[in-house]
Structures are given as structure tokens and as C-alpha cells.
Chains A and B, each alone.
Chain A
Amino acid sequence: MSGAMQTIRARPAGPALRAVRDPLVAGLVVLCLVAAAALLAAPLAPYLVNALGQLAAFAILAVSLDLVWGYLGILSLGHGLFFAIGGYVCAMHLLTHGAAVTGVLPDFVQFMGWKTLPTYWAGLDLAAYAFVLALALAGLVAFVFGLASFRSRVNGVYFSIISQALVYVAMLLMYRNDTGLGGNNGMTGFPLLFGWPMGSPRVGTGLAVAALLTLAAVLAGTRLLVGGAVGRRMLACRDDEIRLRTLGYSTTRLKLGIWCLSAMIAALAGILYVPQVGIINPRVLAPDLSIEIAVWVAVGGLGRLGGAVIGAVLVNGLKFWLSAAMPEAWPFILSGLVLLVVLVLPNGLLDLAALRPRPIWLRRGR
């Protein structure tokens, strides 16, 4: 017991160096920064810039899920909800901003026959307010749901399916047209971003750079978090929650805090995602999409932040390519990939990197 404590205490190096101790994360952070700089220096084709920016947003989303699943053992099948909260608030900001500048009300408001925007849209043309609101709302929803679940010790598979029900109900709610949030068509047709016209290549590059920089920051920040004392407590909680609680730690508070942080990171991804695709609708709340986030993490490697990024980029890159090239085959490939990873590579594709030259089919046991 005291020996174990000793080894934990004995960990060397200050907080700033811990991120460097994970070469994968450090490499990815550097890669993000280099890519951002390259985008600013030499403009790429707009669709490539856009794809890069979307991949970065998805990677942030994957990191947010890996934080709770990989390090706390809480599998959320409802992370699409927080992503959507960020996306919806961002879309509301873009529409109010556009309406304030151009004076034209959004389509769905006219479609519903309203004269003005609903009252709870007030003030959203202020970007800072919208940003804070998105994060606060995601954090609040996560807090209430997490408090209810963790306090009554709902965990494991139970938690997963209840979170799935949560996102499913949210989807049904958003499909209604009378919520004032666009209904089943969602919100689209954003004219301006900070006064710049939306379609211009400059805005596209700016968004992609912002997404890449945010990804770098999120990676570095979460790595610092999981590399420190909190991270060790998270792993302890994942591996044996009862023991950690018996040792006097409040696991509920720990889980709740990380859960809310994860939700806010997911909302951040949503904020970055929506201006790049130019639309948000209730389909992002479909339970299948939330499960896909878990697939990215599982494919890349559960419990390693760099793995989540690699999984998100890989699966989404494949999806961009294959769902255009052979849309019939994509679901089969995806399900095959999931089964392969789940059965053969329990730690994701990073298992392959750790392999000795000896081929996989000759290895015995895992």
C-alpha cells in the first residue's frame, strides 16, 4: 500500500514536460501547429481545407469521448447531444448575426410565419455571449444528467443506454417545428461570420486553422490533465471505483467534473463544426452518430488521446472517401472494421504499431 503510494509520488518531471512524455500526443500537437501554419502560408484547394477543418472538429469530439471512456470507463452513447448543443448555439449566433447585419430573418422563422426571432435568441449576435452560452449549456445539461446518474451509481452498460435514450429524446424534440430551432430542416444559410461573407476562401482557411489550433490546445490540455494527479485518480476510478471510494476519494465529484469537461469539449467541437458544413439539423442527434464517435475512439485506441485523434481522422477520412466512391459498401466496411477492432485489436489500431515483426496470426493469446 505505502509502496504503491510511493511510486505514485516518485513520478518525476513537472507538469509542462508531461505532455512531451507522450510522443504521440506531442507529435500530433506539432503536426496540428505545422498544418495550421502551412494553411496560412500556402492556401490549399477549398474543399481540402474544409475537409481538414471538419476532421479536426471530429478529432476534438473523439478526444472528448476518450477522456470519459478511456480514462473513466464511462461510455457515453449520447455525446452527440453536447456536440449538437455547441452546433445549435453556434448556428443561432450565425443567424442572428446575419439578421442583424442584412436585416433578413432566417428561412425557418419565415416558414413558421413568425415576425421576429423567439425571445430566447436575444443577445446571441454577440459572439462572446454565444460562445459562453454554448459551453455553459452543454456543461449544465451534462451536470444535471451526470449528477442524477453518478449519484445513484448508475454506471457501465446502464449508463450507456440511458445516455443513448437521452440523445434519442433530444432528437425527437428537435424534430418538432415549434421549438424555434428550425425543426426537421434545421438551420442553414448562414450569411456571415464576424462580418465576413461565409463562402470566401479566407473564412474557410480561418475556420480550419481555428479548428486545428483548438485541437492542438485540447490535446495538450487533456494530456496535462490525464498525466497529472487527476489522471491517476481517473484511471484508479476506471479500474476499481469501489476501492477508490473506500480510500476516501469522492468518485462522484471526480466523474462529474470530468464528465462536464468532456461535454464542454464536445460542444467546442460542435461550435467549430457547424460554420464549416454550413448546416445543423436534428440528424446529428441520431443515436447512430453518437455510437460512431465511440467507434472512432475504439478504432484509434481506447485510453490514449492520440489514438482518439487517429481513429477519428482515419474513420472519417474513409467515410468521406468511401461513402462517395461506393455508398453501398460503406456500412459493411464500417461494421467489419468495428468487429475487427473489437475482436482482434482490443486497443485499437495502435496495437498494430506496438507489434513486433512477428505476424499477428502467429501470436498466441492477447
Chain B
Amino acid sequence: MADPRGRPRQAGLPPWYLAPWYPAFWYLALLCLALPAMPAFAAPLDRAILAGALCGDGAAQVGAAEGLVRAGGDLPADDLAYAGRLLGALVERRLACLPDGALLLVGQNAPEGQDAVTGARRPAAEARAPVLGLRQRAAVETARGVVALLTEGTPAARAAGLAVLERRITIVPAAVLDRARDAESDAALKGTIASLAEAAALSSPDPVRRRAAIAAVAASPSGAAAARLDALKSDPAYRADPAFRVALDAGLAQVRRAVAIGDGLAIVYNGLSFASILFMAAAGLAIIFGLMGVINLAQGEFIMLGAYTTYGVQEAFRRFVPGLLDLYLVAAIPLAFVAVALVGIGVEALVLRHLYRRPLMSLLATWAVSLFLVNLVRVTVGTQNLQFSMPAYVSGGVPVYADFVMTWNRLFAIGFAGATLILTLLILRRTPLGLDIRAVTQNRDMAACLGLPTRRIDRLAFGLGSGLAGLAGVALCPIYSVNPGMGSGFIVDSFMVVVLGGVGSLIGTLVAAVAVGGANVLIEPISGAVAAKVIVLVGIILFLQRRPEGLFAVRRRR
């Protein structure tokens, strides 16, 4: 309540000064209204005085409006609403002035109206409706903005009031903005009000308030905050006022440190999400390669098929159960796995089965399959990017620290990759199929001698690897653009992951995916995306000099 700027001028006023008949009375009354430090005048609005002032001359009108703006933070809501009605009537020329009061008319030139103070009906025959001049209109609009911001029922109307205030933010007191911010229920509007209040405080002429504002900005660091504080360095006060300079430098250092940490977190997060995608793409490749020595060049297209299956599921949901549309991503998980696994089993049965003794030819064959699939999708569905509706759980994000926002779509991909890793490990380690796959990977001839149907295991494993690619397609839908050519984008990266990780080891694939994804994301801000790829490739070739079998090679006999 105690305003540091409160000037004890009123205390010295002689009593006659306040008499209603004294010409300066109105002016002084409004001055009192303007001083929130004087609770005796500020708390309850004298409605008669306000009505009289609005009926007065231009100076009185401006004074009344500006007084309302200054006192707006403390006035009770019903007084504000009352003032808003009066001001609105004034602007619309529905305020009629009589020598002993003011009338609120229903419309312009209505024959009678309500008394502004008592509410009684009175004829408006000799009343005059004041016309606002340019200066008065500006002041009145500002006052209406304050009233709207503080009392209006809908966020849109409050936002409109705020928009009016934004243009004259220097004369709006902090109390008004603080009160509006505290009372605001709409999150977006609340943010706007807060940033506006902050900006107003930063440019405030009062040094104490200014330093407090700097501390407040520094307390919630972001790149924008750093820029805002940095801009203050060119302020004359930075040179003139040592306290201000110290406060600004300290605040700026704090913000910069926090932003650096936040950016670091963002890099780690992006690296992790890129690594998850790489892992999903490479896991299937690694299983197939470890088992059969075949690199599936169509793996990227299997990912694309997974994404298109997801799209098909979304369209089916939209047509048949629109109410559950948000669940389509979840429903697509098993469907994409099964659909792409079936395609993979088909390719294995028709093509690859014949090529196990000629692995280099299997490269050409799978390339032909990928060419066929890409063009099939291109002809049947079209080349355009598919439009996905984003359920709430993969859109937006939560700000974690400084500029680092944890976006849900990437978190979805990371979580998805984690779940896939655990499931695949369980399949490989805990199921009979996994046992068979591991046995054939380690020693095909011995496994065959022990009676394992190695060909059937090959086929099932190929289905598993393809299905994993389909899952990668589902995870990609919220992040990447989905089109027929999407598979070729990161397929070379996932090959590198397989080569680096070593044959037949899922953990190796995981470590290699994290390494390649992390290296890409780390190097990219320093020297560009292309240089990152070059460095990663050279690094892998150099690494293979030391360990040609990759990071985690399974000992085996072929």
C-alpha cells in the first residue's frame, strides 16, 4: 500500500480548498484520485465526482481518465465497472450532462435517461452530450483499456484492453498490470501481460523498481531475456548509475550462464532423440545383418511403409471412430509392426532366400525392392507430404530450463525407442525364437546340426527386423515429414550405426546410435551439418582401423 513516491502534499491543504464551490475543486479531487498512496481518496471511488469531471471541460475529462488509470490497481471491481460504463457512454455520446448531474442515455438523443449517481429516471431535455477532443479521447480510451483489462469477462475482450494499453505503456502503473496478471486465468494472455509488465518496469524511470525488474528478468532466464537485458547496456543509466550497472551486469551474467546450460540440455535432448530414431532404424538392420550377413537396402523404405501404415490407421480412425482419433498413434504401433513384418517376410521368401550365398547380390536385390516400393507408393498415394493430426500427447512441450523446451514429440520418440529396445532385448534373450536367433547368429552350421530350422528362423528374424523398421516409421510420424522418399534420408546414417556397433549385438547398436547421433548433434552447431557427417564418417573409418568388427562383436563362426 505504501507507495514510495507518495508525496505528503495533501496534508498541508487548507480545509476551504476542498469546498465544492471553489473552482479548483474538481481538479484537486481528481488529483487525489490520482494518488493511490492516499487510501482515503483512492479506495472508494466518488461516483458523483467522476461523473461531474466527465461532464467538465477537456482538462477535467483528461484528469479524470488519467486518474482512473493511475488508481486502477486499487479500485474495487464494481467501481471500475461503473467507471467503464460511464466512459463507454461518454465515448458513444450517450452521456448527457445537466447542471446538477449526469444522465446515462439508452441511445444517442434519447428523451430520458438514468441519473449516473442515483439511478433515478430523469428527462434529458436540456441536457448536453459532451464531445471528446483528440487528446481527451486518447486519455479516455486508455482508461477504458484499464477497465476492460481488469473487469471484462472474456479473454478476448481483456486482450483488446491490453492492446490499447500497450501503445501507452509508460503511463500505465505497475499495480494495474500486476493486478491484471494475478487475476488472469488465460495462460497465453497472462504471459503477454507479464512480459508487458516486465518491459514497462525495465524502462521505468524509478531506479529501484528498475533494478528489481532486472532481478526479476534474470530469475527466469531465456535467450529473449538476455537480449532484453543486453539492450539496456546502451541505456544512459548504465554509464551514469553504478548500482544499475552492477545490477545489470550481474543479471546478464546469470542469464547467460543459464541460457548456456539450457542450450547444452537442448543439445543433449536433440542428440538423444536423433539417436533414438537411428537406433530404431538400425536395430532391425543389425539383427538381419548379424543373422544372415545381408544388408537390407530397403530398410529405409520399410520405415516409410510404417509411416504410411500409420497414416492409413489415422484415416480409418477419422472415418469410423472420429471420437477416438487421438488414439490412432497408439493403435498404429501393432498394426505397423505386423504390416511391415509381413512385407519383410514376403521379400525374404520371394527374393532373399535365394541369395544367402551371394550377399553382394542381395544388396542389389534389396535396392531393387526399395526402388519398387518407393515408386509404388509414389504412384498409388502420391509424392506429397502426408498430413498428420497431432494428438495432444505429441504436440507442444514443457519448458524445462531457460530456452530448453522438452517437446512431447521427441520425448515420444525417445520413449518409443526405449520401449522397443527393452522389448527386443526380451525377445532375443527370453523367448525360444530369440534363443534360436542367437544360436544361428553364432554358429549357423552347428545350429542346423542340432535340428534348428535355420531357414525358418531367418524368415522370422527378417520379419522381426522389418517390423522394427515399421515401428521406427510410427515414431517418425510426429517428427519428420512423411513422403515416399523419406527412407533415403537417414539410411546411410543407420548403416554407419550398424558398422560401428558391430555385428549381431543390440547393445552395440544402441551405443553406436547414441555415439553417431550425439556426434552429429554436437558437431552440427560448430561446423555445420555436412561437416558433421564428414567427421562422423572419417571417425568411423578410422575406428574400423582399430576394431574392424565394430564396437561389440559377437564371437561367432560362419
Contact = CB atoms under 8 A, between A and B. Distances in A.
A165 interface: yes
A156 B548 CA distance: 12
Contact of A342 (B364, B374, B495, B529): B364
Interface in A144-158: 145, 148-149, 151-154, 156-158
B106 interface: no
A307 interface: no
B366 to A, nearest CB: 10
Given A152-B544, A173-B534, A338 B364 contact: yes
A161 B334 CA distance: 31
A158 B354 contact: no
B542 interface: yes
B359 A342 contact: no
A277 to B, nearest CB: 23
B537 interface: yes
B534 A339 contact: no
Contacts of B289: 157
B372 A343 contact: no
A153 B549 CA distance: 9
A75 B488 CA distance: 20
Contacts of A288: 371
A34 interface: no
B204 to A, nearest CB: 47
Interface in B352-389: 354-355, 358-361, 363-365, 367-369, 371-372, 374-376, 379
A70 to B, nearest CB: 11
B433 interface: no
B177 interface: no
A331 B372 contact: yes
A346 B492 contact: no
A172 interface: yes
B537 A153 contact: no
Interface in B521-558: 529-530, 533-534, 537, 540-542, 544-546, 548
A148 B545 contact: yes
B294 interface: yes
Interface residues of B, number: 42
Given A165-B537, A295-B364, A151 B295 contact: no
Contacts, number: 115
B364 A291 contact: yes
Q: Is the interface of B mostly helix, strand, loop or mixed?
A: helix
A273 to B, nearest CB: 23
Given A334-B368, A342-B355, A148 B542 contact: yes
Contact of B295 (A145, A157, A173, A175): A157
B351 interface: yes
B545 A169 contact: no
B533 A342 contact: no
Nearest to A330: B375
A164 B372 contact: no
Nearest to A158: B499
Contacts of B363: 75, 77, 157, 160, 291, 294
Nearest to A156: B359
Contacts of A52: none
Nearest to B503: A158
Interface string A301-345: 000000000000000000000000000100110111011001100
A218 B546 CA distance: 37
Contacts of B359: 156-157
A335 B368 CA distance: 4
Given A160-B360, A162-B541, A154 B548 contact: yes
Contacts of B368: 334-336, 338-339, 342
A216 to B, nearest CB: 28
Interface string B315-335: 000000000000000000000
A321 B250 CA distance: 72
Contact of A152 (B293, B295, B371, B545): B545
Contacts of B367: 291, 295, 338
Contacts of A154: 544, 548
B143 interface: no
A6 B379 CA distance: 60
A151 B351 CA distance: 33
17 contacts: A152-B544, A154-B544, A158-B499, A161-B295, A162-B541, A162-B544, A164-B492, A169-B530, A172-B533, A176-B530, A287-B492, A332-B375, A335-B369, A342-B351, A343-B351, A343-B355, A346-B358
Interface of B: 289, 293-295, 297, 351, 354-355, 358-361, 363-365, 367-369, 371-372, 374-376, 379, 488, 492, 495-496, 498-499, 529-530, 533-534, 537, 540-542, 544-546, 548
